[in-house]
Amino acid sequence: MRLFSTLRNTFIFCIISGSLFTGCTRITSTELGGGLIPPIDGVFTKDTILDVITDTYNELDTTRIYKGDVHVLGAITNDPIFGRTSASMFFELSPTFFPFYIPGNKDSIRVDSAVLILGYNGFYGDSTQPLRLTVSEIDQSTLLDRSFLYPVNYPSVKPVSIGAQLASPVSVDIRRLGDTVKNRFETATNQIRIRLRNDVAQRFIKTYDSTNAYKSDSIFRTYFAGFALTADQNAPANALLRISLSDTNTKFALYYSSSSTGATTR
């Protein structure tokens, strides 16, 4: 009888112990994903550092930007990864026909102003930092072939000589470029408007006429080689503007009055 009791107790003990061992694992915090952890108590990791060496090549005759493409203007002076970036624009805006003339008797022409207007197509970077822009003219000593499509890095390979400034540097608030501009001549948005000096307006409205600069396109280029638009690299800046030269917003606006126009016209 005692032997039977001992065997019964032993059998019960074995059943309870087996249940405990099969119902418990070493991972007590969760049962989900237990099969993904190796069947050892610890997980070993190794730290590896790889040295990356890169080379940057400056191709002198590759990418080109055409007049119908979106151009870039601005500066990024504090990018922690790419460092410093600058983008300038060198272009010309000329009359749609030659010989070109200002309507009215030349002696009756009254000069109002000249404004460089650029079509704004968005930006890249930080819009809270204003951009300081300067409009100058391209110096006549710069040899440019209008029949040749220059690569985008041409100014850094064969520097474009920048002549006199056409206006005082202006600070552009990127956040306001989408505002509507309303005047008697147009209602428009997305414009960058830079008023040029009064003597520059006098030059294009009254000094130039169909007997000299406006006689033909080739003669016009001997008087005016084009605009050089640059961004200040020393002022805090962190944005690039997208400019469309083929946009109807882009124009060189001359405001004047004469004997044939009466009130100021453009």
Q: Does position 4 have pLDDT exceeding 50, yes or no?
A: no
Using CA atoms, how far apart are residues 141 and 121, in angstroms rounded to an integer? 32
Indicate the pLDDT class of residue 137, thresholds 50, 70 and 90.
very high
Residue with more model confidence, 146 or 212: 212
150-194 pLDDT, tens per residue?
666 666 666 788 999 999 999 999 999 988 888 888 888 999 999
Q: Does position 30 have pLDDT exceeding 80, yes or no?
A: no
Is 93 within the bounds of a domain?
yes
Is 265 within the bounds of a domain?
no
Amino acid type, 121: N
Is 47 within the bounds of a domain?
no
Please tell me the predicted confidence (pLDDT) of residue 61.
58
185-234 pLDDT, tens per residue?
888 899 999 999 999 999 999 999 999 999 999 999 999 999 999 999 88
Residue 261 and residue 110 in contact, taking contact as beta carbons nearer than 8 Å: no
What residue numbers bound the domain in which 118 lies? 87-257
Is 263 within the bounds of a domain?
no
Tokens encoding 255: 């405001």
Is 153 within the bounds of a domain?
yes
Is 19 within the bounds of a domain?
no
DSSP secondary structure of 121-187: EEEEE-TTS-EEEEEEEE-TTS---TTS---TTHHHHSPPPEEEESS--EEE-GGGTTS-EE-SS-E
The predicted model gives 111-127 an average pLDDT of 94
Residue 162 and residue 90 in contact, taking contact as beta carbons nearer than 8 Å: no
Is 165 within the bounds of a domain?
yes
Residue 233 and residue 75 in contact, taking contact as beta carbons nearer than 8 Å: yes
Is 46 within the bounds of a domain?
no
Q: Does the predicted model carry a pTM greater than 0.95?
A: no
Domain count along the chain: 1
Q: Does position 134 have pLDDT exceeding 70, yes or no?
A: yes
Cis peptide before 99 (omega within 30 of 0): yes
Please tell me the predicted confidence (pLDDT) of residue 231.
94
Closest CA to 135 of 233, 242, 231: 231
87-118 pLDDT, tens per residue?
999 999 999 999 999 888 888 899 999 999 99
